[in-house]
Every structure is written in structure tokens, then in C-alpha cells.
Amino acid sequence: MKQPARQFKYLDPQILQKVTHIELKARMMVEGLYASRHRSPFYGFSAEFVDHREYSPGDDPRSIDWRTYARTDRLYVKRFEMESNMNVISLLDVSGSMGYEPQDKNRLRKLEYGCFLAAALNYLVLKQQDSAGLITFDTDIRDFIPPGQGDRHLYLMLNHLEGLKAGAETKLGTTLTRLASRITRRGIVVLISDCHDAPEDIAAGIRQIATRGHELIVFQLLDHDEVVWPFKNLCNFKDMETGAMLMGDPLALRQTYLKRLSEFTSAIEKGCNACGTDYRLIDTSMPIEDVLQSYLLIRRQVHR
């Protein structure tokens, strides 16, 4: 796949340069329709032999194992593991908290960072001849662009990303549970979210995705301000999803906040690990290309 002639906001050549030589492969079996590089639970023609079954009228004579026939005087058909293309769906959080305005005006908001990440992943997936899709959510699934292939499909997703705005509250656990029953074909779901929901609800949603045979990758995306708590002056803190206000002394709150943040991210990671889900905590001060390249290289090494 060539890079689009039109300049899309979230398709950064610097990011693509670092990741386009790395493939995103499925860890487990996927269901697909086209020849590619991923194992499928269905049988067809490929280079990898699986087993034999007895010949049935209508079977292709070319699949008959004549050597076995010579030994047993019975007709058997060779079965091969069919390789398949893979569905990869980017699940992007567009709730109010993703629109947080960082103190450093040169740093991307979480939603912008997530859009760059989703755009690069979709480009990478389509480049390797797999199918990419995009889902946005806040309290529920807001937009659903089913997995597809080709330049026009990529442009559709990129155009959609450019029009996104942070909106309502987050109900990630509920969204994951509903999504599990909505996507029937097994593949990879890449969650990009700050995960501002109860960890136990998120873990329950992750289990729903995993038990249906999907592979889930979780990128928990936090603003650098959320990670280091740089605030010093007495100020009002506003919940960007509910609008609730709280006045406090940041210096007095810092230690308690950082402790609770650590407990929160650890709970999210624990829920992911329990289901065999890949988890990465991302700080918006990290270069997107380095984050994505590092994850893909580690994934390739671990799952080789």
C-alpha cells in the first residue's frame, strides 16, 4: 500500500517510517477468507499439512493421497491448514477525559495521540494485506466502521479520525461486553483508552472479548500531567466527564494521588494479564513512533 497523495492529519510519515517493516501477526487462530500469513481453524490448500480424512464424493481428486491409497487400498484426502487474512479493529476512546488539555501546549491531547496511533496501526494492517476496522466509544459504541481493505477504506477511516471530538462519560466495561457479541469473526481488537472506568468492570469486559476467541491489546493512554502530577498552586480540579469540581492543594494531594494512580494502573494491568491480554501503559510525552515500534518488536520476539 502506497502512502496517500493527500496529506491526512493523523497519518504521520515519521511514524510510518519506523513501523512499516514490522508485521502485526495474530498470536492465536483467526478466521479469514483470503490467503495471508495467519493460521485459520478452517481447512484448505496451503503448504502446511495437518492430517487425513476419508474421501467423500465431490472432493477434489487432486487432494487424494495416492501413496496412502497404495498402502491401504482406501482413498484418503490430505487436509492442510488454510492461511487467512486477519481482522484488526482499533477501539478508540472518545470520552470527555480524552480531551484533556495538557499544561504543555506543544503536547498532544490524549484523543489526538490516540488518533495518530490508530491511523498508524490501520495503515500497517492494510499494508500487510489484512483488514482494518475502527470503532469509537464513550458511554457506548458511537461509530463502527467494519473491517475492510484497500485505499478507499483507509481514507474513510482517516477522514473519520479527523472529525472526532471528545464527548461524554466513559463506560468501557459495558462497551467491551457489548462489542464481544457484536464482532463474530475472530481477530485482534486494539483498545486505545485512558481506561477511566472501574477496573473490575474493564476486566469483566476483557474476559468477554477473550472467551469469544478474540485477541485484545490494551494501550492505556495517560497524559503526562496525569502521570507526574506537576500542579503546584491551589486550584479547582474539574472532572471532564461529569463536570464535578473540587478545590484542593496539589502539593498536599500529590502523594495520595500518585499512590492511587499506581494502584489503578496495576489493577488494569492485572486484569489484562489474567486473560492473556497484552498491556502497555503509554504517557503522551513518549514519541508515538517509538511506542509503536517498541511494542511491535517485543511482540514479534515474544510470540515468535
Task: Name beta bridge partners: 210.
Answer: none
Distances 174 to 149, 171, 239 between C-alpha atoms, Å? 29, 6, 20
Which pTM was predicted? 0.82
pLDDT tens track of the chain, all 304 residues?
666 656 889 999 989 888 887 878 776 544 444 444 555 554 554 555 556 767 766 667 877 888 888 888 888 877 654 445 789 999 999 999 999 999 999 999 999 999 999 999 999 999 988 899 999 999 999 999 999 999 999 999 999 999 999 988 999 999 999 999 888 888 999 999 999 999 999 999 999 999 998 999 999 999 999 999 999 988 888 888 888 888 889 999 999 999 999 999 999 999 999 999 999 999 999 999 999 999 998 887 776 5
- Yes or no: say if 170 and 100 are a contact pair by the CB < 8 Å rule: no
- Yes or no: say if 117 and 194 are a contact pair by the CB < 8 Å rule: no
| Cα 209 from Cα 34, distance rounded (Å) | 24
Which helix (H) or strand (E) is 283 found in, with range? Answer: strand 278-283
| Cα 151 from Cα 3, distance rounded (Å) | 9
| Cα 58 from Cα 276, distance rounded (Å) | 42
| Cα 187 from Cα 93, distance rounded (Å) | 19
> Closest by alpha carbon to 215, among 272, 160, 286?
272
- What are the residue ranges spanned by the domains of the chain? 13-29+85-302, 38-84
Query: Into which CATH architecture does domain 13-29+85-302 fall?
Result: 3-Layer(aba) Sandwich (3.40)
SS3 287: coil
| Cα 217 from Cα 220, distance rounded (Å) | 10
**Predicted local confidence at residue 56, as pLDDT:** 67
Cell of 277: 491480554
Q: What is the Rg, in whole angstroms, of the alpha carbon atoms belonging to the chain?
A: 23
| Cα 67 from Cα 192, distance rounded (Å) | 53
| Cα 123 from Cα 298, distance rounded (Å) | 20
| Cα 136 from Cα 297, distance rounded (Å) | 27
Report strand pairing: 87-93 vs 131-137: parallel
Backbone phi, psi, residue 193, to 5°: -160, 155
**Predicted local confidence at residue 61, as pLDDT:** 80
Distances 244 to 184, 236, 247 between C-alpha atoms, Å? 39, 10, 10
| Cα 31 from Cα 84, distance rounded (Å) | 7
